[in-house]
Amino acid sequence: MGMTPEEMMESMRAGLLKKTGQPLEHWVGVVQASGHEKFGEQVKMLKDEYGLGHGHANMVCQAAKGRFDADEGDMLAGQYKGKDNLRPIYDALEAYAKTLGKDVEISPKKTAVAFRRSKNFAVVTPATKTRVDLGVNLKGEAGTIRMAEEKPGSMCTHKIKLQTADEVDDEVKAWLKAAYERA
């Protein structure tokens, strides 16, 4: 009898930890922070810069894309567990994002949800128990009091802090639309 997919995954995770001294989550973070969007570039970076074998690099990049996580609905529910008051903010952002075009992809990860087209144009993160952060990619735009500029190299160029669904107003929607149009 062969191993179940779960056992194989555990075996691969254990092998990665043993070989590198770092758990899968560490390597997923490396990939997500790398700025490489394409799967092949991510695999190559892990192999070339960190000496990971192809199997481990492939697993890390699959995990970074959220492929092994349970169902996306579960991931989304997990993000807002104990923060139910924030879910209407997310729902308002998602509902608006979906009106921007048929090519909008909603991609829940463990701690955030990416709104993407050819690349991420926005990332929604329940940052605290009272706040959702909406990251948008609007390179070259000057920040405002509401739309603060992020430091270079961040996943998004700007961050908007939202505490109620009512704050998903015309201004926020205009920023989301502009970010979508650039993606």
Per-residue pLDDT of 76-124, as tens digits, reads 888 888 888 999 999 999 999 999 999 999 888 878 999 999 889 999 9
Asked if residue 132 lies in contact with residue 125, where contact means CB atoms within 8 angstroms, the answer is yes
In terms of domains, do 58 and 76 share one?
Answer: no
In terms of domains, do 49 and 122 share one?
Answer: no
Tokens of 5: 């997919």
Q: Which domain holds residue 51?
A: 5-64
In terms of domains, do 85 and 116 share one?
Answer: yes
Give the Cα separation of 96 and 21 in Å (integer): 43
In terms of domains, do 56 and 138 share one?
Answer: no
Q: Per residue in 164-176, pLDDT tens? A: 999 999 999 999 9
In terms of domains, do 105 and 165 share one?
Answer: yes
**The pLDDT of residue 76:** 80
In terms of domains, do 178 and 153 share one?
Answer: yes
Instruction: Look at residues 93, 94, 27, 18 and name the one whose alpha carbon lies nearest to residue 65.
Output: 27
Q: How confident is the model at residue 72 (pLDDT cuts 50, 70, 90)?
A: low
pTM: 0.62
Examine the fold and report which residue of 64, 95, 113 is the final residue of a domain before the chain moves on.
64
Checking if the pLDDT of 3 tops 60, the result is yes
Q: For the chain, what is the mean pLDDT?
A: 88
**The pLDDT of residue 51:** 93
Q: How many domains, in total, are found in the chain?
A: 2
In terms of domains, do 91 and 53 share one?
Answer: no
Please tell me whether residue 132 adopts helix, strand or coil conformation.
strand
Checking if the pLDDT of 71 tops 60, the result is no
In terms of domains, do 77 and 164 share one?
Answer: yes
Checking if the pLDDT of 69 tops 70, the result is no
Torsion of CA 94, 118, 67, 30, to 10 degrees: -110
**The pLDDT of residue 61:** 82
β-pairing, 113-116 with 105-108? antiparallel
In terms of domains, do 76 and 23 share one?
Answer: no
7 class by beta-carbon count within 10 Å (0-12 exposed, 13-18 middle, 19+ buried): exposed
In terms of domains, do 79 and 54 share one?
Answer: no
**The pLDDT of residue 36:** 83
